[in-house]
Amino acid sequence: MKIQIVRLSKDQPNSRQTLQVVEEIEDEHLFNANQKLREIQYQETYIVYQSLSQCPGFALFLPEIEVNMTDNPLPGDAVRATNNKYSGVIAGDFGVISGSLGKAESEYLVCFYPSSFRDNEIVICSGGPAPYIKSGSLSPAEETRLQLFWRWGRGYPRGGEGINFLAEVKVWGWAPV
């Protein structure tokens, strides 16, 4: 798998983030790339921020994760609330669609303020609130965003092996009623 170590930058508070590739690595499970990321952070005294709004910083980016180009929302895509009509969700907040990758459903669990696990088969989110949303009530936002995910560094559960990474995902709008 091709992994890029990138520098995240944001020119203005509400502008889109840009990525500058610092190094490209081939790594089967992300473990070696994560070690290299830590070396770069130490050398340049940067921090990987959990919140992408606190850039600049360095992060792992997986360009091989393809952006959903279909007309249907899919697990791993982001959902932006467009109003304040759902308790605990404010207009502009983002959630992530949980489920089996590539499998379209009529209804999805969408978790806002998520910690999102993503491997080659599934996206599992925790956080909240997490409403079930009919896929027909999601409208394409005609944009993508960088979404923070995590997965096991060597491909299997092991203490201290969780690796955070970024993936570009399609954004859908949701107007709770």
pTM given for the model: 0.77
**Average pLDDT, rounded, for the chain:** 81
Long-range contacts of the stretch 160-164 (C-beta < 8 A, 24+): 161/31, 163/30, 163/31, 163/34, 163/60, 164/48, 164/50, 164/59, 164/60
Decide which of 50 and 64 is more confident: 64
Lowest-confidence pick of 26-30, 71-75, 103-107, 132-136: 26-30
Q: What is the pLDDT of residue 39?
A: 75
Q: Where are the domains of the chain?
A: 2-61, 78-145+168-174
Q: What is the pLDDT of residues 32-61, one digit of tens each?
A: 777 777 777 666 544 444 444 443 466 777
| pLDDT for 68 beyond 90 | no
Exposure of 175 in the CB half-sphere (CA atoms within 13 A): 3
Q: What is the pLDDT of residue 58?
A: 66
